[in-house]
Amino acid sequence: MLTQLFPQLVMIETSSACTGGAAGQTRRPPGPSAPPPIGLWQPTELIGEGTLTRVFRAQPAGRSGLPACYAVKTLRAEWEDDPRAIALIRREAQVGRAVSHPHVVPVLAYRAHERPYFVTMPLLAGATLAAQTASGRRLAVPIALWIARQVAEGLDGLYHTGWMHGDVKPSNIFLAPDGHVTLIDLGYACAIDQRATVGDRPVVGTINYMAPEVLTSTLATDIRSDIYSLGITLYEMLGGAAPFHASDPRRVAVLQRQAVAPRLDVADPQMPSAVADLVQGMLAKEPLRRPQTPRELADLLTRLEIKFFAQRADRQSQVGPLTGWDRPAGLSLASGR
């Protein structure tokens, strides 16, 4: 089992998905200071918030005996009249209801046409990939490939339902304690058949992970833009930092369009050349030079994943237990300045 090969897999920061679900715990109804119901859902605590939205742990309203196993995302009050913010909630509801895939977060319920706008999802236990790669932490090659392959399979599920994710980055990749990956935050998804250009929609996502064509108003974006963003994410998992970074976002945009990412096996001679080759292919500036579909990418990642997990298992049998997540520190990549 993977948890036997890599004990650190069970050490991901976790939060219980269902309060009151374990023996000996007492379920308590929301106190007088609890937020008011959101549709048919009773929030029990605020668990996250962003610029546009807030996320609550919740249970069905009027059912205080049930565990709070749900996450309800709602617009912040100051954004409830903003058409762009409402469009994000509507798109997340549309995509999350249309796509049924083990690596894509489902939407269980929603209200998208009147206040309060919200989407309800299962409450996931675990942490984001961003939390695992904080402070330049690098993941072992097999683990990074394993995570990237699961993301590619989630993108394949979106692709075959007619969508691209539009915002692939570590903070939108959720890791369960057993290592299962779930793609979250579907608000920036884009219908593939629209072939939207940047001129048709706002530039969204995080610029450090954006494909060159997303930053060029004359080029259409498609699923290969997600593949590029996953390439940046895989690069960061293996190298400890994204290939293009600068204090000025405009400089990052220039680097995304024009600079070639330093090869991982040049910065780190121990990096397998086959892995570095795949990452470079994912980061090709021209979409035609990248893997063309998430399924093609997942197959490439699977072959490498099997190879390097097998090598890791062989070394473990020879030298004893190995750490699973981390690789030696010290890889430093230029910012491209």
Handedness of CA 268, 274, 279, 281 (dihedral sign): positive
Residue ranges of the chain with per-residue pLDDT less than 70: 1-34, 195-205, 217-218, 313-337
| Res 314: pLDDT | 59
Task: Tell me the pTM.
Answer: 0.84
Q: How far from 115 is each of 76, 81, 172, 302, 304, CA to CA, in Å?
A: 11, 9, 26, 44, 48
pLDDT recorded at residue 107 = 96
Residues 6+ apart with CB under 8 A from 169: 130, 205, 206, 208, 209, 229, 232, 233
What is the architecture, at CATH level 2, of domain 127-318? Answer: Orthogonal Bundle (1.10)
pLDDT at residue 327, rounded to an integer: 52
**At the topology level of CATH, where does 41-122 sit?**
Phosphorylase Kinase; domain 1 (3.30.200)
Could you tell me which residues are beta bridge partners of residue 55? 48, 73
What would the pLDDT profile of 209-234 be if each residue is shown by its tens digit?
A: 999 998 886 677 899 999 999 999 99
**How many other CB atoms are there within 10 angstroms of residue 1's CB atom?**
7
Query: By the 8 A CB rule, do 327 and 139 touch?
Result: yes
**Nearest in space to 323 (alpha carbons), one of 192, 191, 137, 199:** 137
Q: Which residues pair with 111 in a beta bridge?
A: 118
pLDDT of residue 72: 96
Largest distance between two CA atoms of the chain: 62
Q: Where are the domains of the chain?
A: 41-122, 127-318
